[in-house]
């Protein structure tokens, strides 16, 4: 059985400090939902409220239409995987996975079958007789996940489960989690501050910031059509370029005046846009070297970041603004070169002084 989880106007306070302020969110059965945001944004607190490890000050949390925020954690039919593995060092892997089931008097043959099936899914069958001290960090994390799987809960909650792993192991375990998600049909909620984990694993991402939800959407919706300047800054590496621009209307669309005076036509409708300060947002992949075509603007290369398949050029424009452009992996550009850049106006975004976003009308662009 899986869970539809409904969070309605939930708030959390510690004394005079508000940590979450009137959040509402629907999570579908079998969905892999990722809570993404910086440290202190409230994402782990929200997860712990669903688990019952934190109380709800206002609002309700329901699973499959039944309110659970008043129930103790053990009655919510939820399994949680923490950042810390929290394995019993004196027990074997099999006993660690079985411990919770034995505590609630599940028959031994059922326990054995569940442990064997979870070990098969996680490919740790050969480790069942070992103790945690004989395992690598990645293997211990798989045991912790297996301990959750054997409970056959309605939902799994993951609280930054990869943060204790080194970089290479994080990549491998992330891939394993993505594969596991296809084998275990259940609702999963995963908390992280790592955008790559979010983009890799999520069906939908909840971007959180400063006690509230900034945007909910699929990974590519979040990346291609960020709802706010915060989302555009937080999701994507390198972060989106921002240039302060003046705007005018041309044939119903926005024309942006760049800091050097260049006019850039965009695919953003001018209707509804007010005057005042605006920032033009454009991702590095939409900024290329001119290479024989008319340049939108020019600048001097300050830094080269060679990533193998592509090269990022950190280019300083005449007014001092920095724009990150993308070139081929084997780029011939050198630090200090003056280069012409072409900006693809159809893949731009506009942000007002409050950080709200306007995009082109084609979701495939951006």
What are the residue ranges spanned by the domains of the chain?
Answer: 5-228, 241-358
Q: How far apart are CA 212 and CA 208, in angstroms?
A: 6
For 189, the token pair is 């909620």
Burial 333-345 (b: 16+ CB within 10 A, else e): beeeeebbbbbbb
Could you tell me how far CA 321 lies from the centroid of its own chain?
A: 28
Strands (E), 167-240: 187-192, 204-209, 212-217
The CATH code belonging to domain 241-358 is: 2.40.50.140
Q: What is the pLDDT of residues 201-233, one digit of tens each?
A: 999 999 999 889 999 999 999 999 999 999 999
CATH architecture of 5-228: 3-Layer(aba) Sandwich (3.40)
Locate all alpha helices (DSSP H) within 205-327, ordered by sequence. 219-224, 229-234
The tokens for 151 are 């409970």
Q: For 13, phi and psi rounded to 5 degrees? A: -130, 145
The tokens describing 291, both together, are 């290479």
Question: What are the structure tokens assigned to 224, written together?
Answer: 């291609």
pLDDT in tens, the chain (366 residues): 678 999 999 999 999 999 999 999 999 999 999 999 998 899 999 999 999 999 999 999 999 999 999 999 989 999 988 877 788 999 999 999 999 898 888 899 999 999 998 898 888 899 999 999 999 888 888 898 889 889 888 999 999 877 777 777 778 778 878 877 777 788 999 999 989 999 999 999 999 998 899 999 999 999 999 999 999 999 999 999 999 999 988 889 999 999 888 899 999 998 888 766 799 999 999 999 998 888 999 999 999 999 999 999 999 999 899 999 999 999 999 999 999 999 999 999 999 988 999 998 764 444
pTM of the complete model: 0.89
CA angle, residues 273, 275, 277, in degrees to nearest 5: 105
Joined tokens for residue 348: 């731009």
Buried b (16+ CB within 10 A) or exposed e, 212-239: ebbbbbebebbbbbbbbbbbbbbbbeee
Token pair belonging to 222:
């979040």
Q: Using alpha carbons only, give the angle 123, 78, 48 rounded to the nearest 5 degrees.
A: 110
Q: What is the rounded CA–CA span in Å between residue 37 and residue 194?
A: 8
């Amino acid at each position: 059985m899986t869970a539809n989880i409904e969070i309605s106007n939930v708030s959390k306070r510690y004394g005079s400090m508000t940590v979450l302020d009137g959040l509402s969110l629907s999570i579908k059965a079998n969905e892999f939902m990722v809570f993404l945001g910086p440290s202190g944004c409230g994402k782990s607190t929200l997860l712990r409220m669903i688990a019952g490890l934190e109380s709800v000050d206002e609002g309700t949390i329901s699973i499959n239409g039944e309110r659970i925020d008043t129930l103790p954690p053990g009655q919510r039919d939820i399994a949680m995987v923490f950042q810390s593995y929290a394995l019993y060092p004196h027990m074997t892997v099999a006993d660690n996975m079985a411990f919770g089931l034995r505590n609630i008097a599940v028959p031994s043959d059922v326990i054995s079958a569940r442990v064997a099936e979870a070990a098969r899914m996680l490919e740790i069958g050969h480790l069942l007789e070992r103790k945690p001290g004989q395992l690598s960090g990645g293997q211990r994390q798989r045991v912790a996940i297996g301990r959750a799987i054997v409970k056959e809960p309605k939902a799994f909650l993951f609280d930054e489960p990869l943060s204790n792993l080194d970089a290479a192991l994080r990549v491998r375990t992330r891939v394993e989690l993505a594969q596991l998600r296809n084998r275990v049909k259940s609702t999963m909620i995963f908390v992280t501050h790592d955008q790559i984990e979010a983009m890799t694993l999520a069906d939908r991402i909840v971007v959180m910031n400063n006690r509230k939800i900034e945007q909910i959407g699929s990974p590519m919706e979040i990346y291609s059509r960020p709802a706010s300047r915060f989302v555009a800054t937080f999701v994507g590496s390198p972060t989106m370029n921002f240039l302060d621009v003046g705007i005018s209307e041309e044939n119903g669309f926005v024309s942006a005046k760049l800091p050097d005076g260049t006019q850039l036509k965009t695919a953003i409708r001018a209707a509804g846009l007010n005057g005042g300060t605006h920032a033009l947002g454009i991702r590095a992949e939409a900024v290329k070297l001119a290479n024989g075509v008319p340049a939108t603007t020019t600048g001097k290369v300050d830094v080269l970041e060679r990533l193998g398949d592509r090269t990022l050029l950190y280019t300083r424009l005449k007014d001092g603004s920095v724009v990150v452009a993308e070139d081929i992996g084997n780029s011939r550009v050198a630090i200090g070169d003056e280069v012409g850049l072409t900006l693809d106006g159809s893949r731009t975004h506009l942000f007002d002084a409050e950080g709200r976003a306007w995009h082109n009308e084609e979701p495939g662009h951006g």
